[in-house]
Amino acid sequence: MSTRFLPNRRASSLKAWTLASLLLLLLASLAWSLCSETLHGAGGEEARPSEGMRDEGGGMRVNEEDTHGKRALVNGVRAGATRLGDEDGDGVPDALELQSFGDRENFRKWFTAIAEMQFYRLSDAWNTEQRDCAGLIRFAWREALRKHDRSWFQRMGEGYERVAPDVSVYTLETSPLGEQLFRTAGGRFVVSDVRNRKFSEFADARTLEQFNCEFVGRDRRRAEPGDLLFFYQPWVQKLPYHVMIFLGEAHNDAEGANDWVVYHTGSTPTDEGVVKKVRLSVLDHHPDPRWRPIEGNRNFLGFYRLKILE
């Protein structure tokens, strides 16, 4: 019995094997087709992991053909080899924050010295159209992070000296976000913020206060050099926010004081304004009580610290 049916069984096995092989070939072909479709996509757009970023070991990066901000992001991540996380949830990539005491101190020294210098001589490097209270903060912040080499000193003009080593973790040229240092929206940082323009080269006083600083307090004894003071004057319809930089001890000081501030008075179409350098103890007696940096003045919002220094 068994020998009679053997040829048929062999034939059945051969058929089954052939069918299975064909099925495997079909499946392989289908898988290749799907894979190819995914890689090249409709319209030729390359498929990317979420947020247009991909992890290449050690850091997230974006496609280099994207915007300037993203290119800077790529460069920054390459240079810093730091992940673009936001563990403290403050909206600023941790890679942009100055994590070491030395970097924070060096930044404060450059930031305050550059701002103070504008009182003595406005730098040609400071765009005339950017000269107002928030513009002073942006300018000093940006220049503090640049590589301070010979060409930088030449560009800034007379009177500058090396006040500290450069910040070591990055310079403006290699910063995680390039020159787009300023956050313009709330929330925790996610990598799509770069694509969605939540960082900018520009920030007005309100944007600096709301998204780029942390409130320290209204007591000046808690302020550190490089902290900002904000005022809110709602009756000034166009620009109700005003900002000053707390210097503490000034670089140029014949009074031996430690309560210096520097600020730009703001510009209007008829008045380009000036940079002022005064002591808090003098502002305390400002003729208009609403400009006094004292706790009892509800128009004085208090002292704030840059998030990159937190």
Nearer to Ca ion by Cβ, of 53 and 275: the residue is: 53
Task: Tell me the closest approach of the beta carbon of residue 170 to Ca ion, in angstroms.
Answer: 15
Which of the stretches 78-86, 157-165, 258-266, 280-288 binds Ca ion when contact is defined by CB under 5 A?
78-86
Phi, psi angle pair for 254, to nearest 5°: -95, 0
Interacting residues of 134 by C-beta distance below 8 A, sequence separation 6+: 203, 204, 205, 207, 208, 241, 243
Nearer to Ca ion by Cβ, of 86 and 227: the residue is: 86
Interface with Ca ion in residues 91-110 (CB under 5 A): 92, 94
Which of the stretches 60-68, 80-88, 114-122, 258-266 binds Ca ion when contact is defined by CB under 5 A?
80-88
Q: Is 86 in the site for Ca ion (CB under 5 A)?
A: yes
Task: Tell me the closest approach of the beta carbon of residue 94 to Ca ion, in angstroms.
Answer: 5
Q: Which two tokens stand for residue 64?
A: 């280099």
- 302 burial (CB, 10 Å; 0-12 / 13-18 / 19+) is buried
- Helix locations, the chain, DSSP H: 2-40, 68-80, 101-120, 133-145, 150-156, 192-195, 205-211, 280-283
Question: Which residue is it, tokens 């050690």?
Answer: 58
Binding track over 32-71 against Ca ion, x by CB under 5 A: ----------------------------------------
d(CA 287, CA 245): 21
Q: Is 177 in the site for Ca ion (CB under 5 A)?
A: no
Nearer to Ca ion by Cβ, of 90 and 193: the residue is: 90
The counts of H helices and E strands in the chain are 8, 10
Closest by Cα among 193, 148, 199, 203 to 171: 148
41 phi-psi bin (left φ>0, alpha ψ -120 to 50, beta other): left
Which of the stretches 90-98, 153-161, 205-213, 277-285 binds Ca ion when contact is defined by CB under 5 A?
90-98
Nearer to Ca ion by Cβ, of 214 and 295: the residue is: 214
Q: Is 201 in the site for Ca ion (CB under 5 A)?
A: no
Q: Is 90 in the site for Ca ion (CB under 5 A)?
A: yes
Q: Is 310 in the site for Ca ion (CB under 5 A)?
A: no
Tell me which residues touch Ca ion (CB under 5 A): 86, 88, 90, 92, 94
